[in-house]
């Protein structure tokens, strides 16, 4: 006997989706397949006999548009339900599949002798997890050929198939199955940061800068010294983005989260050293490490990315409590091991973990991404919808926009046509996250050349962008025509400084650049805004984009009017007055945002 969720919405009803006759489970139709083995991956042959795999199946909800419709209602400042966020249980009801879907899928699994004890539902039955499925059985279920693949640069080994199918009877109800054709191994995920070995570093901190600004009015251009153009510290950012005068007052309930991957460990001792050097009044700053899917916490091996994220988010939002999620990849594959692989689904692992909790931090930052075209569309859509669930539950989710401008490498499509076009990034292209681009210099700030930006090929332009992006496209005429999808979700939405960040790693200060700097910076600013609202007994901001794109919000950002993001043999896009696909609406001004949301 198979499971059925207990939610009232899933009460038994007449079976209508299935054919009056038993479905043909051998009538397989392709769900997704690559033309060739993805770039940089090499097939290593079949896994040892007896190898097992954990599968996740995303089912389409009974009410197809209920989640997104609700998200837009509670995120629209003009809607009566604005900021009326939902509980875990209420979201589960929104995304629950039809009972007939569950019966049909259960029948399919039963046909293949998948034990009911190995099947468990999450998110109201929206996702199923099948634990310990023999690879031979997974091949039969999915018409697949799972093999081992090694990444040529990182030596990661993963268990994947270059194509999979599901029975025709399930195509209308199954969104995606993972792991299948997504080859995004953790260490192959693109970090959105890079080191600057020849840049100036401040080993002894920025005491003189702090003293110079101590009696100045925060936020005015005159209080941001020229030195911040060559070395960025928390003092620079707090002055630039006007947060220095705010003291958090809701630290018992407001929370900030940083999602970490790639065996990147945030170091407690380095955070203390960093604060002593750059923000001594926050020397007591700390964070909690929460492991996800076998993620570690090796304090002898501090990660540059992890330290960057936690140090700058904390430096702006202190003393807001912070969580660092250390999300593991799959364990090294041992040829004679039959233990299930974790399968390197980093976003999916982390999202499932966070959404399973009864409470979620009100502000979340992530600084990783992949070329959108390397992520199967069915998988990207399912993951994007999970980010929508975070927004519906009241979290503001930030992703760095990437460090490749409009695209890196040869910019050729991987669909067999080898067409040259701009290459958007995912997850920052998901319309349910806030994408953060990069700036450089001060008085004024300008776009940094590597700031990722462009238009998604997977996700259509969301309604909150319709007027703004249409106006921008009209202003550029035929520039870059044919190289991007003008109907796609445009990004980034906003921006922040992205170069010359002083970061402490192993006790020493180094200089770091990338939109990995921008995302935690902006997360810190908006965490303070959530603190402000919560301290007044109001709900947090949740999903931000509909607010950001209102006609009244533009004045709360510092518009970036110069710079560009070249790539793919072009100059890319240019920063202009108003929104642009280089820096979005620009960088935040906390005091003006405070007035806007308060």
CATH number at 419 reads 3.40.50.200
309 is catalytic: yes
pLDDT reported for residue 18? 41
Query: Which of 516, 518, 527, 564 is the catalytic position?
Result: 516
Separation between Cα atoms, residue 225 and residue 236, nearest integer Å: 8
Of 188, 205, 226, the residue that ends a domain is 188
Tell me whether residue 208 is in a domain.
no
Tell me whether residue 531 is in a domain.
yes
Tell me whether residue 228 is in a domain.
no
Same domain, 382 and 453: yes
Same domain, 258 and 399: yes
Same domain, 265 and 170: no
Same domain, 176 and 302: no
Q: Which of 594, 597, 508, 592 is nearest to 547 (CA)?
A: 597
Same domain, 515 and 441: yes
Tell me whether residue 40 is in a domain.
yes
516 is catalytic: yes
Same domain, 375 and 457: yes
pLDDT reported for residue 192? 63
pLDDT reported for residue 403? 94
Q: Report whether 276 contacts 268 (CB < 8 A).
A: no
Q: Which residue has the tokens 């090796």?
A: 298
- For 65-76, b/e burial (b = at least 16 CB within 10 A) is eebbebbbebbb
pLDDT reported for residue 187? 52
pLDDT reported for residue 368? 86
CA 112 to chain centre: 35
Same domain, 423 and 506: yes
| Residue stretches of the annotated binding site | 559-560, 578, 580
Outline where 413-464 has alpha helix (H).
none
Same domain, 270 and 175: no
Query: Which of 54, 309, 493, 589 is the catalytic position?
Result: 309
Separation between Cα atoms, residue 510 and residue 568, nearest integer Å: 30
Same domain, 505 and 369: yes
Tell me whether residue 1 is in a domain.
no
Kindly state the DSSP code that residue 375 receives in the 8-state scheme. Answer: S
pLDDT reported for residue 240? 96
**CB atoms < 10 A from the CB of 373, how many?**
21
Question: In sequence order, which residues have a C-beta less than 8 Å from that of residue 510 and are 6 or more positions away?
Answer: 195, 196, 197, 201, 304, 502, 503, 504
Coil vs helix vs strand at 201? coil
Per-residue pLDDT of the chain (598 residues; tens, 9 = 90+): 444 443 333 333 333 444 446 789 999 999 999 999 998 899 999 999 989 999 999 999 999 999 999 999 999 999 999 999 999 999 999 999 999 999 999 999 999 999 999 999 988 889 999 999 999 999 999 999 999 998 888 788 889 999 999 999 999 999 999 999 998 755 544 556 678 888 889 999 999 999 888 766 554 545 788 899 999 999 999 999 999 999 999 999 999 999 998 788 999 999 999 999 999 999 999 999 999 988 899 999 999 999 999 999 999 999 999 999 998 865 444 444 444 444 556 788 899 999 999 999 999 999 888 899 999 999 999 999 999 999 999 999 999 999 999 999 889 999 889 999 999 999 999 999 999 999 999 999 999 999 999 999 999 999 999 999 999 999 999 999 999 999 999 999 999 999 999 999 999 999 999 999 999 999 999 999 999 999 999 999 999 999 999 999 999 999 999 999 999 999 999 999 999 999 999 999 999 999 999 8
| Residue stretches of the annotated binding site for Ca(2+) | 559-560, 578, 580
pLDDT reported for residue 339? 41
Separation between Cα atoms, residue 430 and residue 459, nearest integer Å: 7
Tell me whether residue 401 is in a domain.
yes
Of 163, 188, 213, the residue that ends a domain is 188
Tell me whether residue 67 is in a domain.
no
CA 411 vs CA 414, 424, 486: distances in Å? 9, 10, 17
Q: Which of 258, 364, 347 is nearest to 311 (CA)?
A: 258
pTM over 0.85: yes
Counting the structural domains of the chain, the total is 2
Same domain, 174 and 313: no
Of 188, 216, 236, the residue that ends a domain is 188
- Structural domain span for residue 279: 248-332+360-597
Q: Report whether 235 contacts 210 (CB < 8 A).
A: yes
**CB atoms < 10 A from the CB of 153, how many?**
9
Tell me whether residue 546 is in a domain.
yes
305 is catalytic: yes
pLDDT reported for residue 544? 98
């Amino acid at each position: 006997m198979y499971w059925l969720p207990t939610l009232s919405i899933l009460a038994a009803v007449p079976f209508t989706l299935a054919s009056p006759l038993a479905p043909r489970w051998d009538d397989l139709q392709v769900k997704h397949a690559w033309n060739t083995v993805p770039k940089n991956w090499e097939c290593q042959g079949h896994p040892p006999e007896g190898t097992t795999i954990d599968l996740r199946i995303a089912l389409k909800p009974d009410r197809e548009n209920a989640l997104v419709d609700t998200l837009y209602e509670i995120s629209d400042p003009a809607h009566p339900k604005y900021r009326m966020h939902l509980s875990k249980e209420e979201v589960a009801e929104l995304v629950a599949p039809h009972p007939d879907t569950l019966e049909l899928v259960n029948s399919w699994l039963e046909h293949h002798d998948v034990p009911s004890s190995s099947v468990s539902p999450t998110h109201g039955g929206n996702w199923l997890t099948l634990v310990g499925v023999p690879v031979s059985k997974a091949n039969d279920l999915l018409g697949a050929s799972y093999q081992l693949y090694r990444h040529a640069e990182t030596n990661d080994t993963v268990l994947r198939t270059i194509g999979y199918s599901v029975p025709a009877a399930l195509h209308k109800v199954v969104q995606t199955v993972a792991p299948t054709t997504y080859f995004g191994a953790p260490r192959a995920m693109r970090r959105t940061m890079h080191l600057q070995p020849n840049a100036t570093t401040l080993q002894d901190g920025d005491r003189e800068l702090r003293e110079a600004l101590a009696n100045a009015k925060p936020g005015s251009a005159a209080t941001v010294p020229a030195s911040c153009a060559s070395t960025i510290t928390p003092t620079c950012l707090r002055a630039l983005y006007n947060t220095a005068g705010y003291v958090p007052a809701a630290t018992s309930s407001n929370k900030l989260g940083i999602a970490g991957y790639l065996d990147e460990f945030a170091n407690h001792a380095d955070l203390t050293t960093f604060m002593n050097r750059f923000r001594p009044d926050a020397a007591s700053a700390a964070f909690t490490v929460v492991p996800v899917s076998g993620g570690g916490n090796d304090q002898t091996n501090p990660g540059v990315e992890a330290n960057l994220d936690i140090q700058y988010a904390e430096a702006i939002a202190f003393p807001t409590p912070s969580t660092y999620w250390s999300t593991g990849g799959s364990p090294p594959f041992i040829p004679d091991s039959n233990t299930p692989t974790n399968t390197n689904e980093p976003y999916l692992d982390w999202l499932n973990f966070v959404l399973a909790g009864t409470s979620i931090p009100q502000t979340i930052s992530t600084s990783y991404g992949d070329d959108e075209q390397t992520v199967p569309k069915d998988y990207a859509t399912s993951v994007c919808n999970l980010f929508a669930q975070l927004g519906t539950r009241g979290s503001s989710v930030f992703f760095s926009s990437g460090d490749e401008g409009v695209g890196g490498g040869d910019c050729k499509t991987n669909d067999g046509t080898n067409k040259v076009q701009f290459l958007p990034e995912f997850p920052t292209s998901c319309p349910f996250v806030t994408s953060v681009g990069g700036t450089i210099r001060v008085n004024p700030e300008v776009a940094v050349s590597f700031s990722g930006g462009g238009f998604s090929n997977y996700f259509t332009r969301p309604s909150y962008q319709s007027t703004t992006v249409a106006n921008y496209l009209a202003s550029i005429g035929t520039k870059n025509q044919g190289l991007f999808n003008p109907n796609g979700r445009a990004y980034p939405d906003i921006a922040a400084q992205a170069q010359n960040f002083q970061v402490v790693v192993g006790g020493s200060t180094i200089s770091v650049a990338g939109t990995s700097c921008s995302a935690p910076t902006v997360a810190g600013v908006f965490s303070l805004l959530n603190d402000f609202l919560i301290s007044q007994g109001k709900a947090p901001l949740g999903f931000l984009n509909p607010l950001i794109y209102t006609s009244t919000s533009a004045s709360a950002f510092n518009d970036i009017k110069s710079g560009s993001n070249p790539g793919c043999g072009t100059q890319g896009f240019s920063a202009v007055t108003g929104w642009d696909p280089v820096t979005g609406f620009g960088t935040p001004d906390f005091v003006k945002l405070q007035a806007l949301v308060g």
